[in-house]
Amino acid sequence: MKIEGFSSKEGVGSTFEGVVVLEGARTPFGKYTGTLSTVSPTDLGIAASRAVIKKCGVDPTQIDQVVVSNIGQASSDAFFLPRHIGLYSGTRLETPASLVQRICGSGIEVIGQAAEQIALKKANLVLGCGTDTMSRFPLVSFNARQGFPLGRPEYIDLLWEALNDTAAVPMGATADNVAAKYGLSRDEVDRFAFQSQEKYLAAKEKGFYKGEIIAIEEGVFEVSGLTPRKFKLNGAKTLQEDEHPRSTTMEKLGKLPFVFSKTGPTTAGSASGIVDGAAAVLVASEAWASSQGLQPMGKIRAVSTVGVDPKLMGIGPVPAIKSALSALKMGVKDVDAFEINEAFGAQCLGVAKALELDLSKLNQNGGAIAIGHPLGATGLRLVHTLLRTLKIQGKRWGVASACIGGGQGIAMVVEAI
């Protein structure tokens, strides 16, 4: 194993040799206040983690560390979330668990941190998980303990506030700013959104998503010595498919009003869906995987993060991708497939234009406009989907990337095996 760090104005990160992704799995992504809205992010994370462990066929007691991302503290055990995911997934009592948070880039950050732990010989096998039940983001009162005037309690909606960067502008406005910078029209952005939905539906028809989605059934998670965790779905006993994707038309998209500015082009139809879900992967030392007779999906080769102007938050993937590829002495044209989070259609299309991407390589099975964007889970979905796409196509190099609220970008380079 080998790790080399790099740091410059263009990005901060690491390159790796000998670190692999064994497998991945995710829950269906449930629509806002839909079937999964009654399930805590902890339980969604346990479901995804148990699924990837079973899928890979490893003994969970072999897991050395657990790394989890969760953005909205949407359960009463939120402080214990990573530890509970580890314990109820069957890891040893001695296996430590930690929480990471880089907002929309958290899932990629999870895999990057797992890779670093392995490269530093602090683990052979790491469970990485990302989870958010966005429907359960709470209403909060920060000052209730100090009291409030009669009849004037102060509460805010954390889900709504999460869409606003108080240092700059609301998230959607940053997409409109990117559209203005790169001269993107309403028609271009709507067409990109339409194609995201169409590509998802085509991929689903071909059975692509059966390779990564595991059904969620209400029930109880039980582990000897621990209190059982019972959970129920909203209006159903099971969920097997993503709930947010929909069939639409350019005409329908064209009738939607602008959301964040008078001139747009961002509408509800060209923004990522607010959804509930979790995803998990197993990251390992290549040598350890070989000793166990396991066949990895691919290698983690580089990860990079960088800050950008908060008003142009959505452009973050551009310098992050350039930085990660540069560390490997590669360029955009060397990459066979890209999974770039569609936080907003204008944002993702702006990134593609800035990098001069071949759009046929981008989000080939649909993106977050169709699937949705459960903040802590998205990055893990991107990397897993990317590796599956490369394997199916017999291609080698892939890049997963996301913009990050507040003005950052993150990118990971993977190599299929």
Q: What is the pLDDT of residues 313-346, one digit of tens each?
A: 999 999 999 999 999 999 999 999 999 999 999 9
**pLDDT reported for residue 336:** 98
- State the catalytic residues: 104, 403
**pLDDT reported for residue 44:** 98
**pLDDT reported for residue 9:** 87
**pLDDT reported for residue 1:** 85
**pLDDT reported for residue 162:** 86
- pTM for this prediction: 0.97
Sites in the chain below the pLDDT cut of 70: none
Q: What is the pLDDT of residues 19-73, one digit of tens each?
A: 999 999 999 999 999 999 999 999 999 999 999 999 999 999 999 999 999 999 9
Q: Which of 270, 409, 398 is nearest to 339 (CA)?
A: 398
* Average pLDDT along the chain: 97
**pLDDT reported for residue 66:** 98
End-to-end, the C-alpha distance of the chain in Å comes to 16
Q: All domains of the chain, ordered by start, with CATH? A: 300-416 (3.40.47.10)
